[in-house]
Chains A and B, each alone.
Chain A
Amino acid sequence: MSDSLRLYFKFIGIAFRARLEYRSDFLFGVVGVIVLNLTNLALIWVLIARFRSLGSWTYWEIVMLYSMWLLSHSVYAVFFWHLSRLEDDILSGRFDQYLIRPCSPLMQFLGREINYMGVGDVVFAATAFILAYSRLGLRWSAGQWLFFAVALLAGLVIETCIAWMIGALSFWMGRSRAIYAISLRFNILTQNYPLDIFGQWFRLFITGFLPVAFMNYYPLTALLGKQNALGVPWLGFLSPLVALVLLALAAFVWQRGVAIYSSSGS
């Protein structure tokens, strides 16, 4: 295991070097990402300017919701974004290359790309978060900060595992892009809006089936002392558990997927 990890870092080193060859893209990518996030928050600001709050959530609370999601997402975007294109490697037969070598195909795949776009996200998210924190006049204890860090990590794991599983689905069904597109929609909605504004079925779906709400909403309700949309207080602390469950599930699906790849070819 540690050997595969060591190789993974070597792969990433190469991927990073490869990226450096395309320097001009960097600026555009980062600027583009900042513009994207600015417009998202601007839109919410337009709404809040009129309505003063969304449910019980004030503007800066929503900014915090948004940036918390973005902090986890940005790390995902830097290291694991190509999971959404796993289907390309599977369908093109490039996956065969990985199987010919004495190294975990997963590590080889994960190691083949690194994306700088997430860097813009991190910068934006950190800035927005710090702004929101001060505007809300918050004073978190060490324990709360620790919980926050754990929640961020859990959020990263949740988003990565969902993308991983959806990518692995293409072992069975060819292109799984469509499912990814749907999951992305839910992700974006969770990023921008608190669960409170949606109907009961939607809330249950985002909590129990596609648990992206654990990336930001639930931990934040615990941290801000708000009541969450399902009225179940301990949900606020559940994200690490959800992350672990998803990790186990995703690893299982991946293993089965690789096995199926060998029996059905492409």
Chain B
Amino acid sequence: MKVIYAFIRAAFHDSAIYRFEFWGWVLATFIMMYASYSLWAILYRQDPNAFGLDLARMTTYGALGMLLIPILEAAATPQYYIAEKVRQGTLELDLVKPLNFILHMLYRSLGEFCAQLLLVGVPGLAFASLFLGFQPPVSWQAGVGFAASLALGYLIFFGVSMLMGMLSALTLDIRSYSWAYWSLVSFTSGQLVPLWLYPPLLGAIAAALPFKSIFFVPMSIYIGAQEGSMAGALLSQVVWAAGVFVLVHLAWVRVQRRIVIQGG
């Protein structure tokens, strides 16, 4: 527990050092939440029935999607961390450290998650509630479900990020296509546009990828518009999480072997 606290402290400190950047990210989040709100407001005016639910819940969904980016981004920490270490050629040093590497990544990422939640999430929530008509969860069950779903989504994202990081350790330099990757993630995750608005083919593609479980599932639970039952949605996340972690474990064993033999 102390270890996590240390990482949280470190993450806060990092934010403080780059204080302009920190405020910049907060402001950028406000802007994107506002943009999303505007988009849904005008679309709703054009065709109120296309959403299948009222405007307030729709704009809440939109704002939530933008708010979750800086917060969930913490789960992507391993991706950048590993890529950077590989670039410097010092990844093997991490393997020598006493702390299990995956745990180390998890703690680091949780530290940033807490920092982001407090420093960006709270102001963002305040802004959205005051100016964008942001709604609380539709029911207390939805609130609890959302929290659980978010945690699961976080873990899945973390696992995927580990895989991406390991990919860079083994072969490709992901930096040159990280934008493409992110836009794919946001497109297939329902982060910008809820998946029930997608045409069937695209919806099927999105369902085959883990990203839907990261954004769409928790977000839809929050507004009470998830596919099927809440339990079912949570279960699908659990399955994805398990699958991703099996993959991570398998890949990690290979990567470790590769690094130890060949050098980072």
A189 pairs with B193, CB closer than 8 A: no
Indicate if B144 sits at the interface (CB-CB under 8 A).
no
Among B31, B38, B176, contact of A32 (Cβ-Cβ < 8 Å): B176
CA distance A11 to B46 in the complex (A): 53
Indicate if B260 sits at the interface (CB-CB under 8 A).
no
Query: Given contacts A39-B183, A47-B43, are A178 and B24 in contact (CB under 8 A)?
Result: yes
Interface string of B1-42 (1 = CB under 8 A from A): 000000000000000001011111101100110110011011
Which of A50-58, A147-155, A220-228, A244-252 lies at the binding interface? A50-58
User: From residue A74, how far is it (CB to closest CB) to chain B in Å?
Assistant: 14
A193 pairs with B35, CB closer than 8 A: yes
Question: Which B residues touch A175, using CB under 8 A?
Answer: 18, 20-21
Indicate if A42 sits at the interface (CB-CB under 8 A).
yes
Q: Say whether chain A's binding surface is mostly helix, strand, loop, or mixed.
A: helix
CA distance A196 to B180 in the complex (A): 28
Indicate if B228 sits at the interface (CB-CB under 8 A).
no
Question: Which A residues touch B126, using CB under 8 A?
Answer: none
B197 pairs with A32, CB closer than 8 A: no
B39 pairs with A197, CB closer than 8 A: yes
Among B21, B32, B42, B184, contact of A197 (Cβ-Cβ < 8 Å): B42
A174 pairs with B20, CB closer than 8 A: yes
Indicate if B173 sits at the interface (CB-CB under 8 A).
yes
A36 pairs with B21, CB closer than 8 A: no
B187 pairs with A39, CB closer than 8 A: yes
A185 pairs with B176, CB closer than 8 A: no
Query: Given contacts A54-B42, A202-B34, are A173 and B173 in contact (CB under 8 A)?
Result: no
Indicate if A182 sits at the interface (CB-CB under 8 A).
yes
CA distance A202 to B34 in the complex (A): 9
Indicate if A142 sits at the interface (CB-CB under 8 A).
no
A35 pairs with B183, CB closer than 8 A: yes
Interface residues in B165-204 by Cβ distance below 8 A to A read 172-173, 176-177, 179-180, 183-184, 186-187, 192-193, 197-199, 202
B39 pairs with A31, CB closer than 8 A: no
A182 pairs with B24, CB closer than 8 A: yes
Interface residues in A27-73 by Cβ distance below 8 A to B read 28-29, 31-33, 35-36, 39-40, 42-43, 46-47, 49-55
Question: Which A residues touch B47, using CB under 8 A?
Answer: 50-52
Question: Which A residues touch B173, using CB under 8 A?
Answer: 25, 28
A33-B180, A43-B187 are known contacts; what are 19 more A-B pairs with Cβ within 8 Å? A28-B176, A29-B176, A29-B177, A32-B179, A32-B180, A39-B184, A43-B193, A49-B199, A50-B197, A117-B176, A178-B21, A178-B23, A178-B25, A182-B24, A182-B31, A189-B31, A189-B35, A199-B38, A202-B34
- For the complex of A and B, list the 10 residue pairs with the smallest distance between their C-beta atoms, beginning with the closest: A178-B24, A32-B177, A32-B180, A178-B21, A35-B180, A39-B183, A39-B187, A197-B42, A198-B38, A36-B180
Question: Which B residues touch A33, using CB under 8 A?
Answer: 179-180
Question: Which B residues touch A40, using CB under 8 A?
Answer: 183
Question: Which B residues touch A85, using CB under 8 A?
Answer: none
Interface residue ranges, B against A (CB under 8 Å): 18, 20-25, 27-28, 31-32, 34-35, 38-39, 41-43, 46-47, 50, 172-173, 176-177, 179-180, 183-184, 186-187, 192-193, 197-199, 202
Query: Across the A-B interface, how many residue pairs have beta carbons closer than 8 Å?
Result: 105
Nearest A residue to B181 via CB reads: A32
A43 pairs with B192, CB closer than 8 A: yes
A47 pairs with B197, CB closer than 8 A: yes
Among B38, B172, B192, contact of A202 (Cβ-Cβ < 8 Å): B38
Indicate if A79 sits at the interface (CB-CB under 8 A).
no
User: From residue A185, how far is it (CB to closest CB) to chain B in Å?
Assistant: 5
CA distance A174 to B18 in the complex (A): 10
For B31, B173, B177, the residue with the greatest tally of chain A CB atoms inside 10 Å of its CB is B177
CA distance A40 to B179 in the complex (A): 11
CA distance A175 to B25 in the complex (A): 13
B202 pairs with A46, CB closer than 8 A: yes
CA distance A204 to B91 in the complex (A): 49
B20 pairs with A178, CB closer than 8 A: yes
User: From residue A66, how far is it (CB to closest CB) to chain B in Å?
Assistant: 13
A25 pairs with B176, CB closer than 8 A: yes
CA distance A35 to B41 in the complex (A): 29
